[in-house]
Chain A
Amino acid sequence: MIEEMDRDDRVFLMGEEVGHYQGAYKVSEGMLEKFGPKRVIDTPIAEAGFAGVGIGAAIVGLRPIIEFMTWNFSAVAFDQILNNAAKMRQMSGGQLECPIVFRGPNASARQVGSQHSHAMEHIYAHVPGLKVVAPAFPADAKGLLKAAVRDDNPVLVMESETLYGFKGDVPEGEHVVALGKAQIVRAGKDITIAAYARTTHVALEAAATLERAGVSAEVVDLRSLRPLDDNTLVASVERTHRLVVVHEGWPYGGVGAEIADRVQRLAFDALDGPILRVTTLDVPMPYSAKLELACMPQPDRVVATVLRALGREQS
Chain B
Amino acid sequence: MSAEKRAPLTRAPAHPSVQAPARATQAPSPLGANPELEHLSKLYRQMLLIRRVEEESARGYAEGKIGGFLHLYIGQEAVGVGAIASLRPDDYVITTYRDHGIALAKGMSPRALLAELFGKVTGCSRGLGGSMHMFDKEHHMLGGYGIVGGHIPIAAGVAFASKYRGDGRVTLCFFGEGAVSIGGFHEGMGLAALWKLPIVFICENNEYAMGTPISRSMSVEDVSLKALGYGMDRDRFFADDVLEVERRIGEAVQRAREQGTPTLVEVRTYRFRGHSMSDPAKYRTQAELEEHKNRDPLARARRRLVESGLGEPGDPRLDDLEKSVEAEVADAVKFAHESPEPGLDVLEQSTYSGPFAY
Contacts and interface: CB of A to CB of B under 8 A. Distances in A.
Given A46-B187, A52-B153, 5 more contacts: A49-B153, A56-B159, A57-B158, A59-B157, A92-B125
Interface string B325-358: 0000000000000000000001001111111111
Interface of B: 1, 5-7, 9-10, 92, 94, 123-129, 133, 135-137, 142-143, 145-147, 150-162, 164-165, 183-184, 187-188, 190-191, 194, 346, 349-358
Nearest to A58: B157
Contacts of B151: 52, 84
A92 B127 CA distance: 9
Contact of B153 (A53, A58, A59): A53
8 contacts: A48-B184, A49-B188, A56-B155, A61-B161, A62-B164, A94-B126, A96-B143, A130-B357
Nearest to A39: B164
A23 interface: no
A56 B124 contact: no
Interface in A147-195: 150-153, 179-180
Interface string A78-97: 01100110000111111111
A94 B353 CA distance: 8
B357 A49 contact: no
A55 B157 CA distance: 7
A226 interface: yes
B124 A93 contact: yes
Given A56-B160, A62-B164, A152-B6, A93 B123 contact: yes
Nearest to A155: B357
A102 interface: no
A295 to B, nearest CB: 31
A51 interface: yes
A273 interface: no
A129 B353 CA distance: 9
A130 B358 CA distance: 10
A152 B353 contact: yes
A179 B5 CA distance: 14
B153 A94 contact: no
A137 interface: no
Q: Lowest 10 CB-CB distances: which A-B pairs, in order?
A: A56-B157, A52-B153, A49-B187, A93-B125, A93-B126, A53-B157, A92-B135, A152-B353, A56-B154, A94-B9
A44 interface: yes
Nearest to A179: B357
Interface in A27-64: 38, 43-44, 46, 48-62
Given A52-B184, A97-B353, A152-B1, A91 B157 contact: no
A212 to B, nearest CB: 38
B349 to A, nearest CB: 7
A131 B156 contact: no
Contacts of B10: 94-95, 97
B92 A128 contact: no
A150 B155 CA distance: 23
B358 A228 contact: yes
Nearest to A224: B357
Interface in A116-138: 128-131
Given A93-B135, A153-B352, A228-B358, A46 B190 contact: yes
A188 B152 CA distance: 53
A274 interface: no
A227 B150 contact: no
A224 to B, nearest CB: 9
Contacts of B147: 79, 83
A51 B145 CA distance: 16
Nearest to B352: A153
Interface residues of A, number: 48
B120 to A, nearest CB: 11
Interface of A: 12, 38, 43-44, 46, 48-62, 76, 79-80, 83-84, 89-97, 99, 128-131, 150-153, 179-180, 226-228
Most buried by B among A12, A80, A179: A80
A80 B153 contact: yes
A52 B133 contact: no
A151 B147 CA distance: 26
Contacts of B158: 56-57, 59-60
A263 B123 CA distance: 40
A56 B191 contact: no
A57 B157 CA distance: 5
B142 A49 contact: no
Contacts of A93: 9, 123-129, 135, 350
A38 B164 contact: yes
Given A62-B164, A92-B129, A96-B135, A43 B353 contact: no
B351 A129 contact: yes
A44 B142 contact: no
B150 A83 contact: yes
The listed residue with most B CB atoms (<10 A of its CB), out of A44, A92, A94, is A94
A49 B92 contact: no
B137 A92 contact: yes
A152 B135 contact: no
Nearest to B173: A56
Nearest to A94: B9
Contacts of A59: 142, 154, 157-158
A55 B147 CA distance: 15
With most chain A CB atoms within 10 A of its CB, the pick from B135, B191, B357 is B357
Contacts of A55: 153-154, 157
Nearest to A85: B154
A60 B142 contact: yes
A180 B357 contact: yes
A52 B154 contact: yes
